[in-house]
Chain A
Amino acid sequence: MDLVDSAVLARLSRLAVQARVPMSGSINGIHRSATRGSSVEFAEYRKYVPGDDIKNLDWRVYARTDRFYIKEFEADTNLRCCIILDTSASMGFAGDHGSKFDYARRLAATLAYLLAHQGDAVGLLSFAEKTLTDIPPRNSASHLRHIFDTLKTIEPKGGSEIVQTLHEAAERVSQRALVVVISDLFTDPTELLDGFQHMRFRKHDLAVFHLLDPQELAFSFDRPIRFVDMESSFSMITDPSIIETDYRHAIQQYLDTVTRGCREFNVDYQRVLIDTDYEKTLASFLLQRAGKSAAGGRARS
């Protein structure tokens, strides 16, 4: 299976993956840095304090006001991105449009390529009941190939411990980074939002791709079904016509809670139905971020 499509990559590579918050990179890049630097973009004036390099004094301001001010400029740096991929068995649910996991792999691979292409470091963390793979963010062609190879070999199985994984990742990723979570998020929404909050507390730019199969939302069945849990041996026989109302109500309530929580914690939440073309999903994601990045200006986090 080809994880990336060259035509899609060619089209998407015109769009940059923008961080919504200043990053703490190690080298020059296209992203704003949390520190002042030497770019040509003016940042602000501040009062001179002893020890400052006098070459940064703005003499024109001194001439007008008879006070010393230091002129500061923005710094550009690179971005560290950690893609957290859910590989639990529930991601293997396949409706009429393929499985959520295949969709997730494509998203992850394409995103990794785009980031690497613009000189950012990208890593991959896959998890189910525990962390399965942890590839730290780096920027090299071989590293990207390693990510691709890993994505190809992973199969969805086991339960999901997304909350624990989020907490661990929040602590493990030491510097500010773009964290991209790709999952169906089937867990308790309160605990999940705690994980998101932890991630944001660590100043990470958190983006979430919430993958759902349309069949999981519609729940259209016309005769009794034995539903077998994909992550355990639990099963239940029920007449969908009896419970469908409550099912839809429950899932809607859950989605509302997640959406509201993400908004509250400034999480870039993307609900994705997997019958949508992944190129369209990514394009929308990138454009949204580009717009927010431009509108958000230089607000410091």
Chain B
Amino acid sequence: MTFLQPALLLGLPAILLPILIHLLNRLRFKSVRWAAMMFLVSAARSSTRHARLRHYLILLFRTLIILFLILALSRPIIGGWLGSSLSGAPDTVLIMLDRSASMEDTDPRLQSPKREHAIQRFVQAGESMQGQSRYVLIENALNMPQEIAGTAALPALSLTGPTDTAANVPTMLSAALDYMDYNQTGHTEIWLASDLQASNWHPDEGVWTELVERLAAHPMDVKVRILALTSETHENTSIALSSLKRQSVSGRPHLNLSVSLQRNPEANQRFPVAMSLNGSRLPEDRKLDLDAELYSRLLALPADQEKTGWGMVEIPADENPRDNTYYFVYDEDVQLHTAIVADNGDAQRYLQLAAAPAPQWFPHSAETLMPSQTTTLNTEALSMLIWQAGTGADDILSTIETFAHAGGAIFCFPPARGEGATQEGPFGLRWGAIETAPKAKPLRVTTWDNKDGPLAESRDGITLPIGQLNIIQRQCPVLEASDDDVSSDRLDSDWITLATFEDGKPFLLKKRVGRGSVFVCTTLPTPEWSNLGEGMVLVPMVQRVLQEGGSRLSARGMESCGVWRPTDESEPWVCEEGDRDYRWQAGVYRLGSQRVALNRPDRENDLERVPLERLRTLFDGVDIQLFEETIETARKESTSELWPLMVLLALLCMMVESSLLISDRMARRKQIIS
């Protein structure tokens, strides 16, 4: 037998309380001079049997009551045949529903979307369960466990509706495990429905090892039942926008759209593409040719909608309605401007090139300043500030912080001076000592976030060559708050590490400040420090930070649904078309002059599935059952929580103790009356 709350077993000595109270009462006797001693002696002689037995029984039952209550609170669990016989229905069923866009594929055999089919199977499985279980829903859009009344409520819930998001199964599973640990869910089953899309399951990621270990080591016997909906669509086509350019033709602004189509071999090869601009439907295009996968269209922008607007491209309904529409927004090109405050002349030059690599092609500019010239810094039209200097005057530090709070991006590089951790830069940054590695054995960046942030892989899926960086010198910031300084900006938890060296020290850090962000790189792009100056990593990294800082000046944005979140969740982003929720529905959303087009993530078009055998390997050591169409709820030997039994036993003991007391009192009263 094991316990979910073993710490409460420390209260077991409390079962001696009734006995101690009894003994203390015996010690606290008072003396009474008594005349009718002959009856007392006679009574004491005869009472040793019945009354004494009853008295000791009352003591015993009081002790048992405390024992069972402590055991109930410590939540014992029992396995083996006894656990199985007591188990019945699981205490908790965690329903994990993948409602990504790909789950809207209509299964030709079932004639309904996979998501709806999964919900129906959940409802049926819930109906077949005997006993009272608690049901908790975790779906991929919010990853927030929500308790529901029962499986019958699933079809009506908004949280089980279709979405334009992608799923991240490891994250969902992690949320489920966190919920189980935090809420001590007892005997638990996880019901998971998914189309096993590889881009949702990330089967090659190391996180699976940790998740499976947590599942296998869970004190309760956790069962995972997976409903695999792996059937393929046959006649489906998905539409996406591969590029969107605003260009001038014959002196008039036009929108150059490149639409890409991905279709099944059996899909309809000829269909029209509908377009709309700012809510107005444009004349339907001609039927597309058979093998056309990329379709370009030049749209003349109306005079009153030249500068900014939105639109969508659409194809007729097919087996998946969620991949037939793609939204876009357009805006005037905004010149992104960077100010570089640097001590080191070489570093200044490299950073300037990275910030404005080809002024003739891209409307980006960069100006360089010495720390002493920062008094003339104007942050009004600034997108990014690169700070490669030690401390600054108080007024400029204040200006920088204001700039960051307004949505600007700050990129900090080491001051390249061994100032130690005594002087502060912007946001309370204190740099540590310069560390130098032998040239023969340079420092390497081994881990980084390639899904999001400045080091993310490109849209084409090309990974940045971060592993090829040779870093000779580095200077890391001291992030912990000192004993005599407890200012809130210095707390370690505010900083997110985006990339680390092999020894665990940070290469790239990020911190959110108001609507903006502060990034810290711990090396310089000069040859003495690293080969970052070669540009393969530096340019995209700086450009992405620049784009992030420039987004506050631009009304244009195209993001993935389910991934994008406003800086402030309370901002009232409204949909241009009807009432939609940006958390899981594609569309164009607007907040003031800013617009964002949310579309299903590109990886939802990925057709690769996780093979069932691979799935079994993934859950090695965990009790899983795979179903391809239905979920069966047959019981196998399992563990069971015993706290209800303990509470029942405690209640029984209370009843027996009460009846003993009541009968005793009644007998006394009867005697007194007689």
Which residue numbers of A lie inside 8 Å of B, CB to CB? 89-93, 100, 184, 186-187, 213, 216, 218, 221, 223-231, 234-239, 241-252, 254
Contacts and interface: CB of A to CB of B under 8 A. Distances in A.
Nearest to A220: B672
Given A218-B672, A229-B37, A231-B37, A245 B30 contact: no
A248 B668 CA distance: 9
B28 A245 contact: no
Contact of B26 (A216, A218, A224, A252): A224
A80 B55 CA distance: 55
Interface in B573-602: none
Contacts of B28: 223-224
Contacts of B41: 236
SS class, residues of chain B in contact with chain A = helix
B61 to A, nearest CB: 16
A226 B44 CA distance: 13
Given A238-B40, A250-B42, A245 B667 contact: yes
B290 interface: no
B674 A242 contact: no
Contacts of A93: 33-36
Interface in B52-74: 52, 55
Q: How large, as a class, is the contact surface on chain B?
A: 20 to 34
A216 B31 contact: no
A245 B32 contact: no
B607 interface: no
Given A93-B33, A249-B671, A242 B51 contact: yes
B30 A236 contact: no
Contacts of B52: 242
Given A236-B40, A242-B51, A243-B44, 18 more contacts: A93-B36, A184-B35, A216-B35, A224-B25, A226-B32, A227-B37, A228-B31, A228-B32, A234-B37, A238-B44, A239-B55, A241-B55, A243-B47, A243-B51, A248-B668, A248-B672, A250-B46, A252-B674
Interface string B661-672: 000100110011
Contacts of B35: 89-93, 100, 184, 186, 213, 216, 230-231
A186 B41 CA distance: 13
A238 B52 CA distance: 11
Nearest to A156: B35
B42 A246 contact: yes
B39 interface: yes
10 contacts: A226-B32, A236-B40, A237-B29, A241-B55, A241-B664, A245-B51, A245-B664, A249-B43, A250-B39, A252-B671
Nearest to A89: B35
B671 A242 contact: no
Interface in B638-674: 664, 667-668, 671-672, 674
B249 interface: no
Contacts of B671: 244-245, 248-249, 252
Given A231-B37, A241-B55, A245-B668, A225 B31 contact: yes
A243 B42 CA distance: 9
A226 B37 CA distance: 12
Given A218-B672, A241-B55, A245-B668, A225 B29 contact: yes
Contacts of B43: 243-247, 249-250
A89 B35 CA distance: 8
Contacts of A100: 35
Nearest to A94: B33
A234 B31 CA distance: 12
A225 B43 CA distance: 14
Contacts of A221: 32
A243 B672 contact: no
A238 to B, nearest CB: 6
Interface in B12-28: 25-26, 28
A218 B669 CA distance: 10
A250 B42 CA distance: 7
B32 A225 contact: yes
Contact of B47 (A213, A216, A229, A246): A246
Which 10 A-B pairs have CB atoms at the shortest separation, nearest pair first?
A246-B43, A93-B35, A247-B43, A90-B35, A224-B29, A243-B47, A246-B47, A227-B34, A229-B37, A248-B671
A226 B40 contact: no
B38 interface: yes
B663 to A, nearest CB: 11
Contacts of B672: 218, 248
A236 B36 contact: no
Nearest to A251: B39
A249 to B, nearest CB: 7
Contacts of B38: 186-187
A194 to B, nearest CB: 17
B29 A226 contact: yes
B36 A186 contact: yes
A92 B44 CA distance: 23
A100 B35 CA distance: 10
Contacts of B55: 239, 241-242
A9 to B, nearest CB: 29
Contacts of A225: 29-32
Given A227-B37, A228-B33, A228-B34, A246 B46 contact: yes
A226 B42 CA distance: 16
A122 B39 CA distance: 34
Contacts of B32: 221, 225-228
Nearest to B38: A186
Contact of A236 (B26, B44, B674): B44
Given A93-B34, A186-B35, A245-B51, A239 B26 contact: yes
Interface string B417-461: 000000000000000000000000000000000000000000000
A226 B51 CA distance: 19
Nearest to B55: A242
Contacts of A249: 43, 46, 671
Contacts of B25: 223-224, 239
A114 to B, nearest CB: 28
Given A93-B33, A184-B35, A239-B55, A227 B40 contact: yes
A61 to B, nearest CB: 59
A7 to B, nearest CB: 31
B40 A243 contact: yes
B306 to A, nearest CB: 96
B221 to A, nearest CB: 49
A228 to B, nearest CB: 5
Contacts of A246: 42-44, 46-47, 51
A216 B36 contact: yes
Nearest to A224: B29
Interface centre among B29, B32, B39, B42 (most CB of A within 10 A): B39
Contacts of B51: 242-243, 245-246
Contacts of A224: 25-26, 28-29
Contacts of A236: 40-41, 44
A120 to B, nearest CB: 32
Interface centre among B43, B667, B668 (most CB of A within 10 A): B43
B31 A247 contact: no
A241 B47 CA distance: 10
Interface in B228-284: none
Contacts of A250: 39, 42-43, 46
